Amino acid sequence: MHKPKSLRDALTVDTIAGGAEQLPASVIKSAGRALQILEMFDVLQRRATVTEISDLLSYPQSSTTMLLRSLVAMGYLNYDIRERTYVTSSRVALLGKWAASTLISDGRIIQVMRRINERCGQAVVLAARNGLMTQYIHVVQATASVRLFVVQGSTRPLVRSGTGFALMAELPDADIRRIVMRVNADGGIDGESVRQDDVLASVQHVRDKGYAFTIGINTPDAGIIAMPLPPVLAADVGQSAVIGIGAASAVLVPRRRELLDILLEEFANAGL
């Protein structure tokens, strides 16, 4: 019997933060799945078969085949008939280039992220708010031997994540309370209500210290140190954003001061 492939197996890594998101009820299923297929190739960064994509995204193989063929017909995927594998085309790389010129390879933010990555060897993420969630809109993956793989495009609750606390630091307390009320009205987090006082305390820590530091609240044995971007750099993103260093707890805890200094120094080196 065929054994479904997990993302961890496909990437041959030990620890993963994030993954394919469940589509909201308001999203047309075929449209959402087509985009998730393109995002999955961005994670894999290699060719893949219909069976592997079906397994990784938990889609029926028949509908996965139809979606892949449609994306090939539209020029967004290439199909190798001999290997029976699919891969994204150059057309995908050009999507949105006009709207995100400051985030392409020679952009200031990407340069800052790469320098941070070169200095610490750990995953560096750029996160921005998406509704009640924080989303990793760009990731420079870790290169160290002990590393955390962070799935680009994955999301975390604003009210339960380091990047979320950092993003909410600029909001008035009244707005944060309203966010918590909306989260609880939607069923809370994992079926449990979120305490306003706990969230406000975590956000206040960011205001006092200038950064968020969380361990194990979304990914076991891993965490993040995240710092809000100053307005001049956030303007390159077009909205409030944060840069964070994600790592295994065994790396993040003893290197906390060092990683914080790297973030501060690279922000300063960017002329901020």
Residues 231-269: tens digit of each pLDDT: 777 777 777 899 999 999 999 999 999 999 999 999 888
Record the pTM.
0.76
Domains and CATH numbers, the chain: 22-94 (1.10.10.10), 101-269 (3.30.450.40)
What is the C-alpha separation between 186 and 243, in angstroms, rounded? Answer: 28
Tokens of 257: 């001061």
pLDDT tens for 42-68 read: 888 889 999 998 988 888 889 999 999
Q: What are phi and psi of 155, to 5 degrees?
A: -125, 160
Q: How confident is the model at residue 88 (pLDDT cuts 50, 70, 90)?
A: confident
Q: Which of 141, 93, 104 is nearest to 121 (CA)?
A: 141
Which DSSP letter does residue 199 get? Answer: H
Q: How confident is the model at residue 222 (pLDDT cuts 50, 70, 90)?
A: very high
pLDDT tens for 109-134 read: 888 999 999 999 999 999 988 889 99
